[in-house]
Amino acid sequence: MARNLYSNQRHPLVNVSKHQRSRCHNRNNLQRQSQQGGFVARHPLFNVFNNQRNNDEVICEKDKTIKEVDGPIQSIYNDDHGNDEVIFEEDTNEDEYMFFGEDSVSGLWVTMREYYCYKFHTRPNIFNPILHGGRLFQQFAVDTYIKIESSRLDYMWHHQNKIRADLYQGLLDNIQAGEQNGDAVGKRKSFPLPDIDKQHETTDDIPMVIIEETSIEVDPEDVSSHKNLNNEQRKAYDEILATVDRQRGGILFVDGPGGTGKTFLYMALLATVRGQGKIAVATATSGVAASIMPGGRTAHSRFKIPLKIDNGAICSFTKQSGTAKLLQSITNNLG
């Protein structure tokens, strides 16, 4: 019974047919029970509640009250106004009780959560002692939460089959559909791929990668930064630009301790070359380093370098690819 009382599930507490309903006149009995426990609250909407046989709570609806009792419930009760529409009967088979009225709104069950929601409600002109309990109220609220949560977990623990059945219902539906339409089972359904939009791939036969590189905005501050180069930077700057102007290619290696101005030099070079309308591809071995430079990319990304380098490894782009055309167009590659 306690299991049902605290469960968050709706339970049919008792089955009482119409003809079994009796009009209740046992006012004395209810008063006696009420005296044992005392009045808790009044509310016109409350109409159903359950109870354990030998202790604690009896809820009565039509008299608009909830009453707590200490003793066992022995028989049919009525409200303390003698209202004959309230019925409470014992179901000897289920060993549980039910209260309901003929104008019952919410049906024959309330969940534990609903019950405690009701208890915590503030109602105009009705004093609810629970809400004025201070620390006791806090303790009550915590206890209530624990009860409800325990009940929920308890339900899940004891209803695994039902829960799993719900969870896998979609799977069962599919299996059943397969049984009814067997020829579709195991067959792959192919959806057509969308047409490739080549609009952005090239513009007037100029590869997109070249358009991207030539569209990099040059920061005016970087353009003028070459004026601030120190002697060593200036030396490297002049040497590199002379190599570019000769158009004969070459490999130059700039090195120096951290913070000595290598990146500053690169920025000045990139700005100068790009400012002349030429292509300078900025690459680095790491994404972080590449992100410092305008238009910077990792070398692996830009040149399609395979991650695994072994004998015969080559960059994975063709002669006709945009990357190949970009490399042919490069004036200066900084990396």
Ligand X SMILES: Nc1ncnc2c1ncn2[C@@H]1O[C@H](COP(=O)(O)OP(=O)(O)OP(=O)(O)O)[C@@H](O)[C@H]1O
Q: Which is nearer to ligand X, 60 or 269 (CB)?
A: 269
Q: Which stretch binds ligand X (CB under 6 A): 110-118, 222-230, 301-309, 312-320?
A: 222-230
227 binds ligand X (CB under 6 A): no
Q: Is 260 in the site for ligand X (CB under 6 A)?
A: yes
262 lies in the binding site for ligand X (CB under 6 A) = yes
Q: Residue 294, interface with ligand X (CB under 6 A)?
A: no
Spell out the residues 6+ positions from residue 56 whose beta carbon is closer than 8 angstroms to its own. 68, 69, 70
Binds ligand X by CB under 6 A, chosen from 13, 14, 69, 229: 229
Smallest distance from ligand X to CB 265, Å: 7
Q: Rule CB under 6 A: is residue 255 a binding residue for ligand X? A: no
Closer Cβ to ligand X, 130 or 241, answer by number: 241
CA distances from 130 to 68, 107, 135, 286 (A): 13, 26, 11, 65
Contact flag: residue 264 with ligand X (CB under 6 A): yes
Choose, by CB under 6 A, the member of 134, 186, 194, 259 that binds ligand X: 259
With CB atoms as reference, the residue minimizing the distance to ligand X is 261
**Touching ligand X, residues 172-211 (CB under 6 A):** none
* Distance from C-alpha of 294 to C-alpha of 72, rounded to nearest angstrom: 84
Q: Is residue 82 a contact point for ligand X (CB under 6 A)?
A: no
Min dist. Cβ of residue 293 to ligand X (A) = 10
Under the binding rule (CB under 6 A), the answer on residue 258 touching ligand X is yes
Q: Does 283 bind ligand X (CB under 6 A)?
A: no
Tell me if 271 contacts ligand X by CB under 6 A. no
CB of 275 to ligand X, least distance (A): 18
Region binding ligand X by CB under 6 A among candidate stretches 23-31, 94-102, 227-235, 318-326 = 227-235
Closest CA to 78 of 22, 36, 131, 2: 22
The verdict on 256 binding ligand X (CB under 6 A) reads yes
Which residue, 31 or 224, is less far from ligand X as judged by CB?
A: 224
31 near ligand X (CB under 6 A): no
Q: C-beta of 229: minimal distance to ligand X in Å? A: 5
Closest to ligand X by CB, 107 vs 256, is 256
Catalog residues that contact ligand X under the rule CB under 6 A: 228-230, 233, 256, 258-264
